[in-house]
Structure 1
């Protein structure tokens, strides 16, 4: 890749890696559902003035706002309020094998034995992490992260089926539709949510600003530009740096403990996801089509 593309890819990995830490810091003061609602509201305010109305796509964008907004980010932020950032950064990578599985059905991709092996490694690695004694009382949030990763994969399929759409238009209108959903969830499950928002420190708001501006707008803007201009198989592996940065940062910032099973499981997950990312999917020949 050209040096400019390398810098952009590295920047995306760093931003996404740090973003996991900023979200963890923010949910320590602001309940997760109202925090996610604020995130999407801010993204919509910043992006919508620069986008056109997506005529004929409101229905599909509404469905994406449910899967990507409420069921991915909402559930992920909720899990982060109960569990360390390090394991979350690793487990959320299951979105990659889940995406491969869905692609075999929706896009006629053929997995092949190497990608199947990578998928198996990823799930084995997460299982090893589940066995860690320090995680025995955290099975629910761990399963919620797995669910959030699956919703990420579902949202990716829906976005791909949406066709060619401007990044700001997609993120802005999806955010506008997701924000009220998360606000309703907050009103139901977080009775003290508004009070927590009013009492939050400037650090919590700085963390929120980072995830809105740097992760949602800058990183995704860089990412979609790279996917359009560079070989996908060269760009995508850069994302493996993000969980490494998150894990190291969680240790330095939050003093999160390491354990042998966490290290082994996380390494196995990273290896499995790397195999999937580095194998270019082969499409089956369509049969019975004109």
Structure 2
């Protein structure tokens, strides 16, 4: 991989790692479901005017907006409003083994012993984090992160079944459909959300802007370019730097405490996910879910 591509891959991982930190900062002032609605509304505003209407795919995009918009991001932001960014950044990596599991059913993908080993390590690592005595009162939020990871994997299946679609069309129109449903949920679940938005500081708005522009548009756009230009096995491993950035930032910025369970569990998850990502599938296999 050329040095420019390596630097771009590193930049994407850095942005994604910082993104969880900025979301954590934003949900400290703006309720999580409202924040998610605002995120998607901003993405739609920035992308939809410059894309065509994917008329034949609107039904599938509507389903994706529920799974990916509310099921993944909405739930993940709710968990982040309670949890430190470190555990969230690690546990959400379960989306990788969940994707491998779903690929065996929907795309007849063969797991093989290496990916089975990686999946086992990932789940064992998360279990260790659940057993952390300091996390015993946070089991429900931790389970929300696991659910968000599962919804990310389901979204991967739905995106693959969408077929050929422009990245910005997908993100823009999915966001346009996700924003209203999240707004309604916020009105139901977060009665003080409007007041919170009106009283939010400039830092909360800066954090939201980073999430919308840098993570949703710049990072994902760069990532799709890298995947189309270079071998998947050259690009994907860079994403493992993101949780390292998140954990480091959480310690430095939010004062997160690190326990033995977190360290061992986190490393075990990273190793397991790395095994899954680095496993090179046969040429006749579907590769979109690896």
Give your verdict on TM over 0.5.
yes
What residue in structure 2 maps to residue 225 of structure 1?
Answer: 225
Secondary structure at 2:55's aligned position in 1?
A: coil
1:69 aligned residue: 69
Provide the residue aligned with 1:35 in structure 2.
35
- Please identify, of 35-44 and 102-111, the stretch whose mean Cα deviation from structure 2 is larger: 102-111
Q: Deviations over 1:111-158 (max 9, x none)?
A: 100110000000000000000011000000000000000000000111
Q: CA deviation at 1:282?
A: 3.8
The TM-score, its normalising length taken from structure 2, stands at 0.97
Q: 2:120 aligned with 1:120, yes or no? A: yes
After TM superposition, the score normalised by the length of structure 1 is: 0.97
For residues 1-290 of structure 1, the aligned pairs below 5 Å read 1-282=1-282
* 8 Å Cα contact 1:12-1:222 kept in structure 2: yes
- Partner SS for 1:110: coil
* Unmatched tracts of structure 2, length 5 or more: none
- In the alignment, structure 1 segments of 5+ residues that lack a partner are none
Whether the 8 Å CA contact 2:62–2:177 is kept in 1: the answer is yes
Aligned-partner Cα distance in 1 for 2:261–2:282: 34
RMSD of aligned C-alpha atoms?
1.2
- Please state how far the C-alpha of 1:283 moved relative to its aligned partner: 7.4
- List, as ranges, runs of 4+ consecutive aligned residues in structure 1 with deviation greater than 4 Å: 283-286
- Return the alpha-carbon distance in structure 2 between the equivalents of residues 119 and 285 of structure 1: 19
Q: Report deviation, 1:55.
A: 1.6
Q: Deviations over 1:151-199 (max 9, x none)?
A: 0000011101111111110000000000001101101100000000001
Q: For 1:100 and 1:126, how far apart are their aligned partners in 2?
A: 17
1:14-64 C-alpha deviation (Å, 9 max, x unpaired): 000000000000000000000000000000000011111102110000000
Q: Distance in 1 between matches of 2:69 and 2:56?
A: 20
Q: Judge conservation of contact 1:108–1:284 (CA < 8 Å) in 2.
A: no
Residues paired across the two proteins, number: 286
Q: CA deviation at 1:285?
A: 8.2
